[in-house]
């Protein structure tokens, strides 16, 4: 009588259980992964969000500095986080993306709000980014500016490079176009350079003024009746003193608007418990609702 060859059934059962356990770990227990993303021609690594915490210890403080484009976002998330987790504190200021990242690296803040992707050098210093929301960069003029038409992407690039410097060249009345630019430290400045100028430099003609401080209110005040500038759409959508210029027939709140970008929260790996909690909240459905509506 011949004997049956091959491993006993228990071996297959153990193998199946091992594969099942491995699959569970892969989908549910592994640490947040990193996903390469291309923005403005730069490849960045965006970390998968942390989970929404169920509780956060009273006394937890999270400090944020960074993009002026994210001041309203920071405030909305601060209000929502502190409301959902009593006893916590979020301290948020907006000194510009580069300053926020410098403060993060120096240990002065826990999170940097960034309106541009991380550079390879910054990633090499242990920084990681979480996408918070999508934003549009709006082209704006003063409410009293007689120019009330739209512009093409090509015309906008030429204006900010100093190749077009009179409103009559784009269908307006004869008058010098005063370009109000943000400082180089601004993440919005750098993203504008990538999205609008396709990596080319801003112009240096006499009609172009660069602000010393990265802030939207002074930029709006400087527009007057003949100026043009740019800002995050969320900051100017409800402003009564500016008008948003239509670009290629599209407004910033349309899905195919050309000047769109992600906004990020940057942290230093490994993230502490407070940072994990805040980022988990910021990217969760409750956080996204607070971000959009305020709280």
Q: How far apart are CA 96 and CA 65, in angstroms?
A: 8
Give residue 15's pLDDT: 52
Give residue 235's pLDDT: 86
Q: How far apart are CA 244 and CA 138, in angstroms?
A: 6
Instruction: Kindly indicate the confidence band of residue 7, based on its pLDDT and cuts at 50, 70 and 90.
Output: low
Give residue 52's pLDDT: 95
Instruction: Kindly indicate the confidence band of residue 185, based on its pLDDT and cuts at 50, 70 and 90.
Output: confident
Q: How far apart are CA 85 and CA 101, in angstroms?
A: 26
Give residue 60's pLDDT: 98
Q: Give the percent of the chain with pLDDT over 70.
A: 83
Q: Which of the pair, 37 or 290, is modelled with greater confidence?
A: 290
pLDDT, tens digit, 9 for 90 and up, residues 139-184? 999 999 999 999 999 999 999 999 999 999 999 999 999 999 999 9
**Given a cut of 90, is residue 89 above it in pLDDT?**
yes
Instruction: Kindly indicate the confidence band of residue 81, based on its pLDDT and cuts at 50, 70 and 90.
Output: very high
User: 248, 192, 184, 249: which is closest to 210 by C-alpha?
Assistant: 184
pLDDT, tens digit, 9 for 90 and up, residues 229-277? 999 998 898 899 999 999 999 999 999 999 999 999 999 999 999 999 9
Average pLDDT value for the chain: 87
**Given a cut of 90, is residue 292 above it in pLDDT?**
no
**Given a cut of 70, is residue 29 above it in pLDDT?**
no
Q: What are the Cα distances from residue 200, in Å, to 58, 130, 153, 160, 182? A: 49, 27, 14, 10, 15
Contact predicate 73/234, CB 8 Å: yes
Domains and CATH numbers, the chain: 34-134+261-293 (3.40.190.10), 136-260 (3.40.190.10)
**Given a cut of 80, is residue 45 above it in pLDDT?**
no
**Given a cut of 80, is residue 105 above it in pLDDT?**
yes
Give residue 73's pLDDT: 93
Give residue 295's pLDDT: 42
Dihedral of CA 116/117/122/127: which sign? positive
pLDDT, tens digit, 9 for 90 and up, residues 10-21? 645 555 555 544
Q: Is 45 exposed, middle or buried (0-12, 13-18, 19+ CB in 10 A)?
A: middle
Q: What are the Cα distances from residue 123, in Å, to 10, 117, 279, 283? A: 48, 10, 18, 21
């Amino acid at each position: 009588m011949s004997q049956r060859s091959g491993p006993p059934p228990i071996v297959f059962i153990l193998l199946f259980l091992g594969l099942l356990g491995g699959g569970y770990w892969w989908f549910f227990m592994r640490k947040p992964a990193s996903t390469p993303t291309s923005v403005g021609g730069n490849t960045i690594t965006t970390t998968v969000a942390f989970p929404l915490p169920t509780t956060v210890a009273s006394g937890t403080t999270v400090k944020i500095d960074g993009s002026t484009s994210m001041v309203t976002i920071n405030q909305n998330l601060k209000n929502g986080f502190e409301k959902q987790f009593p006893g916590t504190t979020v301290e948020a200021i907006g000194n510009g993306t580069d300053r926020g990242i410098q403060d993060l690296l120096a240990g002065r803040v826990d999170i940097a709000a960034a309106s541009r992707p991380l550079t390879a050098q910054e990633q090499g210093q242990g920084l990681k980014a979480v996408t918070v929301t999508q934003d549009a960069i709006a082209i704006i003029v003063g409410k009293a500016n007689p120019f009330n038409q739209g512009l093409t992407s090509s015309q906008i690039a030429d204006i900010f490079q100093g190749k077009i410097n009179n409103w009559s060249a784009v269908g307006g009345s004869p008058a010098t176009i005063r370009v109000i630019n943000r400082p180089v430290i601004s993440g919005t400045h750098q993203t504008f350079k990538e999205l609008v100028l396709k990596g080319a430099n801003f112009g240096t003609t006499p009609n172009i003024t660069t602000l010393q401080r990265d802030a939207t209110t002074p930029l709006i005040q400087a527009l007057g009746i003949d100026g043009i500038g740019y800002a995050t759409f969320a900051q100017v959508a409800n402003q009564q003193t500016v008008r948003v210029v239509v670009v290629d027939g599209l407004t910033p709140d349309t899905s195919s608007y050309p000047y769109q970008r992600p906004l990020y929260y940057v942290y230093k790996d490994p993230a502490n418990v407070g940072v994990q909690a805040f980022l988990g909240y910021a990217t969760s459905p409750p956080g996204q609702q607070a971000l959009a509506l305020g709280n």
